[in-house]
């Protein structure tokens, strides 16, 4: 494709926030030309809405017990070598308290699919967090549940929910998960969450095994159609104790390009520069922001358990205290002319 045609497609995406699947494929096939053209446009789109503010979310990885068996994930049920842990509600509340002192006004509670956390226990925890820190937003990232459970958590005070669709292609989804986990079920969760009034975050891994350009174009089309409030994408990174141990990692450059395209599709979206991106590249999070991201999610989990929440090999920030991560991220953002703000950072 000629350079001018690539530029024209990106100009149209910037203007209309929409392209055909084939056109997304063409853009993905012309990354070298497209990425340097899309990034400043994506950054400008984010700046117009959010300025140079970067929102922080305190991530609390509260349990690595998981009944699911996603082939890519280090804490999958099938990984018998994974040492399991579960924070008590009191420990989780302590993390929030520390987070509040560090200036976090959004807490993200993330875990595997852990049945110990029944609706009753979860709701009690959510209510207590909202009672103690009423000025904070609470995000859940705890996987697939019944509509009733989602409704109960929402009723208890949860504001947002992160649940990546992982891949919009049913055939690709089937290669990344065992047969009992389906894209259909995942999309049902995503629709329920939206209907229940959560701000919803979807997203995919970049460069997961067998992913094609068409799969990624389908992901972009899904993002365009669903208009999520948040969108989490990061490179696939192999974990040595999973069936995907031998696959190559996803590309930082392609992830950055996709961040830019997503920003142009949904200018208002809350778009994190993820830990996986920071793991793939020492300046991944800075590069992510410069490509259009506007959220970072420093780790608030107790240092003692961080290594056990190992989704992929080499995960960064497992040895740092929460306060260190906070300072480190602030400095990283400052170094590229952006500032971390103490704000709930609600979707606009």
Residues in contact with ligand SAM by the rule CB under 6 A: 72-73, 110, 112-113, 141-143, 163-164, 166, 205, 234, 236-237, 239, 276, 311-312
Q: Which does 99 bind (CB under 5 to 8 A by kind): ligand SAM, ligand FES, none?
A: none
Which listed residue (14, 29, 313, 320) binds ligand FES by CB under 6 A? 320
User: How near is the Cβ of 121 to ligand SAM at its closest, in Å?
Assistant: 17
Q: Which does 113 bind (CB under 5 to 8 A by kind): ligand FES, ligand SAM, none?
A: ligand SAM
User: How near is the Cβ of 279 to ligand FES at its closest, in Å?
Assistant: 11
User: How near is the Cβ of 331 to ligand FES at its closest, in Å?
Assistant: 8
Type and span of the H or E element at 20 = none
Q: Which residues pair with 341 in a beta bridge?
A: 55
Tell me: does residue 190 bind ligand FES (CB under 6 A): no
CA distance 173 to 70: 10
Strands 160-162 and 199-202: parallel
DSSP 185-227: HHHHHHHHHHHTT-EEEE-BEES-TT--HHHHHHHHHHHHHH-
Tokens of 326: 């906070």
Q: Which is nearer to ligand FES, 250 or 298 (CB)?
A: 298
Question: 160 in helix, strand or coil?
Answer: strand
Q: Which does 205 bind (CB under 5 to 8 A by kind): ligand SAM, ligand FES, none?
A: ligand SAM
Tell me: does residue 253 bind ligand FES (CB under 6 A): no
CA distance 329 to 242: 30
Q: Which is nearer to ligand FES, 176 or 325 (CB)?
A: 325
Closest CA to 192 of 147, 222, 149, 237: 147
DSSP single-letter state for residue 73: -
Tell me: does residue 328 bind ligand FES (CB under 6 A): yes
Q: Which is nearer to ligand FES, 216 or 276 (CB)?
A: 276
Region 300-319 residues binding ligand FES, contact defined as CB under 6 A: 317
Region 79-98 residues binding ligand FES, contact defined as CB under 6 A: none
CA distance 172 to 34: 25
DSSP 324-339: HHHHHHHHHHHHTT-E
Positions that interact with ligand FES (CB under 6 A): 298, 317, 320, 324-325, 328-329
């Amino acid at each position: 494709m000629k350079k001018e045609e690539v530029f024209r497609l990106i100009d149209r995406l910037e203007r209309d926030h929409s392209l055909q699947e084939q056109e997304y494929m063409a853009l993905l096939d012309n990354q070298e030309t497209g990425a340097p053209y899309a990034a400043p446009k994506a950054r400008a789109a984010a700046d117009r809405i959010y300025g140079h503010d970067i929102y922080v979310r305190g991530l609390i990885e509260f349990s690595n017990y998981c009944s699911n068996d996603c082939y890519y994930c280090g804490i999958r049920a099938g990984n018998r070598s994974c040492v399991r842990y579960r924070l008590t509600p009191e420990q989780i509340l302590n993390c929030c308290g520390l987070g509040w002192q560090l200036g976090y006004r959004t807490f993200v509670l993330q875990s595997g699919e852990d049945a110990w956390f029944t609706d009753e226990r979860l709701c009690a925890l959510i209510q207590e967090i909202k009672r103690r820190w009423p000025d904070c937003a609470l995000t859940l990232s705890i996987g697939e549940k019944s509509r009733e459970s989602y409704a109960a958590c929402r009723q208890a005070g949860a504001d947002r929910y992160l649940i990546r669709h992982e891949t919009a292609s049913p055939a690709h989804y089937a290669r990344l998960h065992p047969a009992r986990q389906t894209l259909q079920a995942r999309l049902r969760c995503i629709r329920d969450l939206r209907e229940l009034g959560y701000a919803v975050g979807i997203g995919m891994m970049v460069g997961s095994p067998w992913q094609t350009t068409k799969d990624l174009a389908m992901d972009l089309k899904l993002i365009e159609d669903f208009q999520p409030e948040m969108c989490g994408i990061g490179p696939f990174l192999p974990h040595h104790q999973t069936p995907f141990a031998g696959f190559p990692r996803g590309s930082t450059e392609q992830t950055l390009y996709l961040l830019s395209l997503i920003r142009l599709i949904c200018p208002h979206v809350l778009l994190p520069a993820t830990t996986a991106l920071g793991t793939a590249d020492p300046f991944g999070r800075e590069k992510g922001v410069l490509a259009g991201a506007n959220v970072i999610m420093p780790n608030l989990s107790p240092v003692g358990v961080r290594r056990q929440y190992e989704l992929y090999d080499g995960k960064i920030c497992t040895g740092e205290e929460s306060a260190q991560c906070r300072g480190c991220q602030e400095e990283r953002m400052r170094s590229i002319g952006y500032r971390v703000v103490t704000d709930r950072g609600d979707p606009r």
